[in-house]
Structure 1
């Protein structure tokens, strides 16, 4: 009887530890991490430290104050006006493009999310979404972020507010 209890306890411990290990692998290192995906992501884009599998990246608001783009946000807004991106449809909502800026100021791991004005996930206008994604990818003035003497990767986002088919504001 004692042997049966011992083996049951041992077997249960092994089974539970296997389950914990299995579940822990499905979560990113940090909440909000963008996992590399070979289909949309550039294989040559590298995170600092350990390539595409670097363990940690900061958020845009950590480490420094202000907008880390050459010319600040106004430079992005001016460049966007020149592109004249709009929809023929009278759409209202938000298109957010989130991405990673590495320690060299290069960008990658772009992800897009569109929402209607009620903040519900919705494809507003696929053509406009693709143009805004392409526009965001073309921005080449992102500054490397320095935290305590170390150049680090950081996540950044741009949200385009769409009113009557036109970009009315760029956030943050």
Structure 2
């Protein structure tokens, strides 16, 4: 009888621990991690480590540089002015493009978020969003980031503040 209770208890723990492992694997390693999406992402973009499913990517604020772009943010603003990107619509809000910079300074896994001035998730102007996404993808001055001597992937974002259909500010 004691052997039966012991065996039942042991099997219960094994089944519970197996179930817990399945639940944990559904979640990203870090809040905000993007998963590869074959509809959105280029198959050729490689993360450091174990390919497209590399275990960890840092956020933009980790490491020694706050903004790792050649020429800093001013270079991006100057390039944006040259492109003269605007909307015919008199819209106000924010368009954020978040992406991954790999250990070679190449970018991929772009994600868009749009909000009105009240920070509500609203499509502002699809054409403007596409232009800003294309512009962000064209930026090629992102610098690889090193943490403790190891080149790492990191997430970066650019938020374009839109006032009266024009980009009035680039954040961060």
Q: TM-score scaled to structure 1, two decimals?
A: 0.92
The Cα shift of 1:12 comes to 3.7
**SS of corresponding position for 2:78:** helix
Give the match for residue 74 of structure 1. Answer: 74
Instruction: Give the 5 Å matches for 1:143-154.
Output: 143-154=143-154
Give the match for residue 110 of structure 2. Answer: 110
Give the match for residue 16 of structure 1. Answer: 16
Matched length: 172
Gaps of 5+ in 2: none
Gaps of 5+ in 1: none
Do the aligned partners of residues 23 and 155 (structure 1) sit closer, same or farther apart at CA in structure 2, a change above 3 Å counting? same
Comparing 154-163 with 51-60, greater Cα deviation is found at: 51-60
Comparing 141-150 with 101-110, greater Cα deviation is found at: 141-150
Give the match for residue 38 of structure 2. Answer: 38
Separation of aligned partners in 1, 2:15 and 2:50: 32
Separation of aligned partners in 2, 1:14 and 1:126: 51
Do the aligned partners of residues 100 and 3 (structure 1) sit closer, same or farther apart at CA in structure 2, a change above 3 Å counting? same
Give the match for residue 62 of structure 2. Answer: 62
Separation of aligned partners in 2, 1:66 and 1:30: 19
Comparing 123-132 with 63-72, greater Cα deviation is found at: 63-72
Give the match for residue 29 of structure 2. Answer: 29
Q: Is the 8 A contact 2:67 2:73 kept in 1?
A: yes
- Quote the RMSD (CA, aligned, Å): 1.6
Separation of aligned partners in 2, 1:123 and 1:4: 62
Comparing 97-106 with 142-151, greater Cα deviation is found at: 142-151
Separation of aligned partners in 2, 1:115 and 1:5: 58
Give the match for residue 171 of structure 1. Answer: 171
The Cα shift of 1:147 comes to 1.7
**SS of corresponding position for 1:23:** helix
The Cα shift of 1:16 comes to 2.3
